Amino acid sequence: MKCFSVCSHDCPDACALEVEIKDNLVAKISGNKDHPFTQGIICNKTAQYKEVVYSDKRVLYPHKRVGEKGTNAFKRISWDEAIETIVTKWQRILKNYTSDSILPYSYAGTEGVLNNASMDRRFFNKLGAAKLLRTICSAAGTKGFELAYGKAIGTNPIYTSNSKFIVFWGVNALATNLHQAIFAQKARQSGAKIVSIDVEKNETAHFADEFYHINPASDGILALGIANIIINENLYDREFIENNTYGFGAFKELTKQYTPNIVCKQTGLSEKQLNKLSIEYATTHPSFIRIGNGLQHHLNGGCNTWAISLLPALVGAWKFKAGGAIKSNSGYFPINKNLLQRPDLLASKTRTINMVELGKALSDEKNPIKSIYVYNSNPLVVAPNHNLVKKGFQREDLFVVVHERLWTTTALYADIVLPATTFLEHDDLYTSYWHNTIAFAKRAIEPLGESKPNIEVFSMLALAFGFKERCFRDNAYELASQALDDSYFKSHNITLNRLLEEKFIVLENIGYPYKDTAYTKLCKIQFKNEDAVNSTGKDLPECTDFSTHCPFILITPPNKYFLNSTFAHIDKLRKNSGVPSVKINTKDAIKHGIKDNDNVEVFNEQGSCILKAVICEDVKEGVLISRGLYWADDYINKQPINALTSDKLSDIGQGAVFFSTGVELKKL
Ligand SMILES: Nc1nc2c(c(=O)[nH]1)N[C@H]1C(S)=C(S)[C@@H](COP(=O)(O)OP(=O)(O)OC[C@H]3O[C@@H](n4cnc5c(=O)[nH]c(N)nc54)[C@H](O)[C@@H]3O)O[C@H]1N2
Ligand SMILES: Nc1nc2c(c(=O)[nH]1)N[C@H]1C(S)=C(S)[C@@H](COP(=O)(O)OP(=O)(O)OC[C@H]3O[C@@H](n4cnc5c(=O)[nH]c(N)nc54)[C@H](O)[C@@H]3O)O[C@H]1N2
Ligand SMILES: [Mo]
- From the CA of 297, how far away is ligand 1's center (Å)? 9
Nearest CA to ligand 2 atom 38: 375
Q: Give the number of the ligand closest to the Cα of residue 212.
A: 1
Residue 360, Cβ density class (10 Å: 0-12 exposed, 13-18 middle, ≥19 buried): middle
Of 595, 562, 558, nearest in space to 576 by CA? 562
- From the CA of 409, how far away is ligand 2's center (Å)? 12
Mapped onto helix, strand or coil, the DSSP state of residue 367 is coil
Nearest CA to ligand 2 atom 20: 377
- From the CA of 201, how far away is ligand 3's center (Å)? 21
Burial readout 42-53 (b: 16 or more C-beta within 10 A, e: otherwise): bbebbbbbbbbb
- From the CA of 202, how far away is ligand 2's center (Å)? 23
Please tell me what DSSP assigns to residue 446: P
The beta strands (E) that lie in 366-496 are given as 371-375, 399-404, 416-419, 428-430, 437-441
Ligand 2, pocket residues at CB < 6 Å: 10, 107-110, 115, 136-137, 293, 375-378, 382, 403-406, 408, 420, 454, 556-558, 563-566, 629, 641-642, 645, 658
The rounded average pLDDT for each run of 10 residues, N- to C-terminus, in the chain (668 residues) is 97 98 96 98 95 96 96 96 98 98 98 98 98 98 96 95 98 98 98 98 98 98 98 98 97 98 98 98 98 98 98 97 96 96 96 98 97 98 98 97 97 98 98 97 98 98 98 98 96 97 91 77 94 94 93 96 90 88 98 97 97 98 97 94 98 97 97
Pocket test for ligand 1, best of 136, 198, 299, 651 (most atoms within 8 A of CB): 198
Q: Give the number of the ligand closest to the Cα of residue 630.
A: 2
Of 439, 436, 441, nearest in space to 507 by CA? 436
- From the CA of 143, how far away is ligand 2's center (Å)? 21
64-135+350-506, what's its fold?
Rossmann fold (3.40.50)
- From the CA of 133, how far away is ligand 1's center (Å)? 21
Q: What is the DSSP string of 118-142?
A: SHHHHHHHHHTPPEEE--TTTHHHH
Pocket test for ligand 2, best of 106, 135, 376, 611 (most atoms within 8 A of CB): 376
- From the CA of 646, how far away is ligand 2's center (Å)? 18
**Can you give the three-state secondary structure of 303-347, one letter per residue?**
HHHHHHHCHHHHCCHHHCCCCEEECCCHHHCCCCHHHHHCHHHCC
What residue type is assigned to position 227 of the chain?
A: A
Pairing of strands 287-291, 165-169: parallel
- Cβ atoms of 13 and 29 within 8 Å: the answer is no
Nearest CA to ligand 1 atom 5: 563
Q: What is the DSSP string of 648-665?
A: -B-TTTT-B-TT-EEEEE
Nearest CA to ligand 1 atom 15: 176
Report the length, in residues, of the chain: 668
Q: Give the number of the ligand closest to the Cα of residue 643.
A: 2
C-alpha to C-alpha distance for 500 and 441, rounded to whole angstroms: 8
Pairing of strands 165-169, 607-616: unpaired
Residue 23: how many other CB atoms lie within 10 Å: 6
pLDDT at 570: 87
Mapped onto helix, strand or coil, the DSSP state of residue 154 is coil
Q: Atom of ligand 1 at shortest distance to CA of 558?
A: 7
As separate numbers, helices (DSSP H) first and strands (DSSP E) second, the chain gives 26, 27
Q: Give the number of the ligand closest to the Cα of residue 57.
A: 2
C-alpha to C-alpha distance for 392 and 385, rounded to whole angstroms: 11
Of 475, 511, 470, 510, nearest in space to 496 by CA? 475
Mapped onto helix, strand or coil, the DSSP state of residue 16 is strand
- From the CA of 57, how far away is ligand 3's center (Å)? 24
What is the C-alpha end-to-end distance of the chain, expressed in Å? 54
pLDDT at 568: 87
C-alpha to C-alpha distance for 400 and 343, rounded to whole angstroms: 25
Cα distances from 473 to residues 87, 104, 280, 417, 456, in angstroms, run 18, 20, 57, 23, 9
- From the CA of 176, how far away is ligand 3's center (Å)? 10
Of 631, 660, 629, nearest in space to 219 by CA? 660
Q: Atom of ligand 1 at shortest distance to CA of 200?
A: 42
Nearest CA to ligand 2 atom 13: 137
Q: Give the number of the ligand closest to the Cα of residue 177.
A: 1
- From the CA of 391, how far away is ligand 3's center (Å)? 24
- Cβ atoms of 341 and 119 within 8 Å: the answer is no
What residue type is assigned to position 319 of the chain?
A: K
140-327, what's its fold?
Dimethylsulfoxide Reductase; domain 2 (3.40.228)
Pocket test for ligand 1, best of 176, 263, 567 (most atoms within 8 A of CB): 176
Pocket test for ligand 2, best of 200, 378, 429 (most atoms within 8 A of CB): 378
- From the CA of 294, how far away is ligand 1's center (Å)? 5
Pocket test for ligand 1, best of 293, 556, 625 (most atoms within 8 A of CB): 293
552-667, what's its fold?
Barwin-like endoglucanases (2.40.40)
Q: Atom of ligand 1 at shortest distance to CA of 204?
A: 44
Q: What is the DSSP string of 512-570?
A: ---TTT-SSTTSSEESS-TTHHHHHS-SS--------SSSEEEE-PPPTTSBTTBTTT-
C-alpha to C-alpha distance for 106 and 380, rounded to whole angstroms: 12
Measured over all CA atoms, what is the biggest interatomic distance in the chain, rounded to whole angstroms? Answer: 72
Q: Atom of ligand 2 at shortest distance to CA of 565?
A: 23
- From the CA of 383, how far away is ligand 2's center (Å)? 9
Mapped onto helix, strand or coil, the DSSP state of residue 226 is helix
C-alpha to C-alpha distance for 52 and 426, rounded to whole angstroms: 15
Pocket test for ligand 2, best of 49, 115, 565, 625 (most atoms within 8 A of CB): 565
Q: What is the DSSP string of 589-603?
A: HHHTT--TT-EEEEE
Domain locations in the chain?
2-53, 64-135+350-506, 140-327, 552-667
Q: Give the number of the ligand closest to the Cα of residue 422.
A: 2
Provide CATH code, domain 2-53. 2.20.25.90
Pairing of strands 371-375, 102-106: parallel
**Would you give the distance in Å from CA 32 to the centre of its chain?**
24
pLDDT at 516: 67
Q: Give the number of the ligand closest to the Cα of residue 562.
A: 1
